[in-house]
Amino acid sequence: METDQLFDQNDCRMMSRALQLAAKGFPRATPNPLVGCVLVRGGKILSHGFHRRFGGPHAEIEALRGLRSYTRGATAYVTFEPCSYWGKTPPCVDALIKAGVSKVIAATGDPNSRVRGRGFSLLRRAGIEVMTGCLQKEARSLNLPFETQMSLKRPYVILKAAMTLDGKIADKNGQSKWITSDSARAMSWKIRSIIDAIGVGVGTVVADNPEFSSHGFGRNPLRVIFDPLLRLPGRVRVIQTDHAATIIVTAARHSPRLNELFNKHVELLFVGKNEGGLNLSETMRYLALKGVQTLLIEGGARTHAYFLEQNLVDEVLWFTAPKLIGGAQAKSVISGRGLNLTQAARLTSWNVYRAGADLLIHGTLNPQGLFWTILNKHLQGNHQALSLSQSHPSPRIPQSFVYA
Ligand code: AOF
Ligand code: ZN
C-alpha cells in the first residue's frame, strides 16, 4: 500500500468528514468494518454516506444514492478500499465505475482476503485515478478489531480489571465483590454491550458466580470460560442462564464430567495445553472463525497472566479504586510467572478518566493504534467520564477529526 503520497489540506478535511461518518456506524455495522464516503465535485460536497448496519448498503452506495449523473467526474473519499465482490450486497467498485467518478481517494486497504487490493486495481483498470493512504492511521484505528480478525485470525483483546490502588483484586479473606464504585460497574456493563465476547477463568466464575450480562444496557456478549480441568459446577449462573451462548474451553477431553455438561446449553471447545495453561492461539483462531472480533477479558489474575504472557493483549481498561488494603495473601491483579521489567508490556498511549469515585486508565499495547477513539465515545456517553490526561496525542489528527 502506498502511504507516502501527499494529500492537501482539503483532502484531509474531506477524509476527516468521511471518518467521522464511518464512526457513526459503531456498533450497529459490526462485525462489518466501519466505512464512510464523501463525494466531492468542484470543491463542493455532493453527498455522503456511511455503513449504517450489518448487512445494509455499504458507505459508497449510501453516498451515491439518488445522485444519478451528478456524480460524473466527482472524487470519492472513502475511508476503506471499495469492495470488489458480491457479499450480502453488490460490489461497490462496480457502482463507482458506473457512477463515472474520476478519482477515488482512500484512507486504507481492505484486509479481507476477498478484496485485499483487488478493489483498487479494478478501479484503476477502469481508468479511475486512485490514491491511497490519506489519514491511514486514523482509518485503521477505527477498524482494528476487523483488521485483527482478518489478518491475525484472532479477536481484538481488551483486558479489563478492577483493582485497588495497591493492585489487589480481592482482600485477604477473598472478598472481591465491591472493589469499585457503582458507576465503574455500570461502565463495564455498558462495555459488555458493545463487545462480541467476554472471557473469564473458571476460578472467577466459581468465586463470584456472575451472569456476565450487560445488565440491560444492550446485547449480551458470548461467554467464554477458560476451564482447563473442567471443574465448572453445573449450577453456576453462566450455565443456568441462556441470555447468551456459553463456550467452555478445556483440555479435559476425558473428564467424567463431560456427560453432565453435554446436557446443558453450553458448547465445549477442546484445545491442547502448553506450559502457560490452555493453548490460547487455538482458542483465538476458533473464536475469530466464529465471528468474534472483540474479546473482553474480565479476570481472574491467572487468566490475565495467560493473555499477557502470550502477547495477546491489545488494549487495557483498568478501573482503579482509590483504596489501599495490602495483605501478602490478598490476590493481585495479574499472577502467573510474571515478566522481567525489561520485558514489561508497555502502554503505547493511554488516557485517564474519572469513573464515578474511581479512576479508569484506558490504554493500548497495540502499536497499530487506538480502537479507543470509538470506545471512548461510548464510555463518555452516559457517564460523563472526565478526561484528565493523555500520553501522546496523535499529531496527525486534524482539528476537525473529533468524535463529538
Ligand atoms: C465497502 N464499503 O461500506 C464496507 C465494506 O457482506 P457484505 O456485502 O456487507 O460485505 C462485507 C465486506 O465488505 C466486509 O467484509 C469488507 O470486506 C467489505 N466492507 N466495503 O466497499 C463498505 N462496509
Ligand atoms: Zn462495498
Model confidence at 349, pLDDT cuts 50, 70, 90, reads confident
- pLDDT attached to residue 251: 94
Q: Nine-digit cell at 144? A: 482494528
Distance 285 CA to ligand 1 centre (A): 22
CATH 3.40.140.10 in the chain, residue ranges: 4-142
Q: Calculate mean pLDDT across residues 319-344.
A: 94
Cell 446443558: give the residue: 264
384 pLDDT more than 50: no
The DSSP element (H or E) to which 302 belongs, if any, is: helix 301-309
Q: Nearest-CA neighbor of 114 among 98, 144, 91?
A: 91
Model confidence at 385, pLDDT cuts 50, 70, 90, reads very low
Taking the whole predicted model, whether its pTM rises above 0.75 is answered as yes
Superfamily classification of domain 152-385: Dihydrofolate Reductase, subunit A (3.40.430.10)
Atom of ligand 1 nearest to the CA of 91: 21
Backbone angle region of 60, left / alpha / beta, with phi > 0 → left and psi within -120 to 50 → alpha: alpha
Cell 453432565: give the residue: 260
Rounded to an integer, what distance in angstroms lies between the CA atom of residue 301 and that of residue 313?
A: 14
For residues 79 and 142, the answer to whether their CB atoms sit within 8 Å is yes
Rounded to an integer, what distance in angstroms lies between the CA atom of residue 32 and that of residue 295?
A: 16
Q: How many CB atoms lie within 10 A of CB 219?
A: 15
Rounded to an integer, what distance in angstroms lies between the CA atom of residue 387 and that of residue 398?
A: 19
- pLDDT attached to residue 198: 97
Atom 18 of ligand 1, nearest CA residue: 83
Q: What is the pLDDT of residues 73-125, one digit of tens each?
A: 999 999 999 999 999 999 999 999 999 999 999 999 999 999 999 999 999 99
DSSP annotation of 174 reads -
Give the contacts of 130 (CB within 8 A, at least 6 positions apart): 103, 104, 105, 106, 120, 123, 124
Cell 502511504: give the residue: 3
For residues 31 and 293, the answer to whether their CB atoms sit within 8 Å is yes
CATH 3.40.430.10 in the chain, residue ranges: 152-385
Mutate which of 32, 34, 80, 118 for ligand 1 pocket (most atoms within 8 A of beta carbon): 32
Q: What is the pLDDT of residues 149-186, one digit of tens each?
A: 999 999 999 999 999 999 999 999 988 888 998 888 88
Distance 11 CA to ligand 1 centre (A): 23
4-142 fold:
Cytidine Deaminase; domain 2 (3.40.140)
Q: How many CB atoms lie within 10 A of CB 273?
A: 12
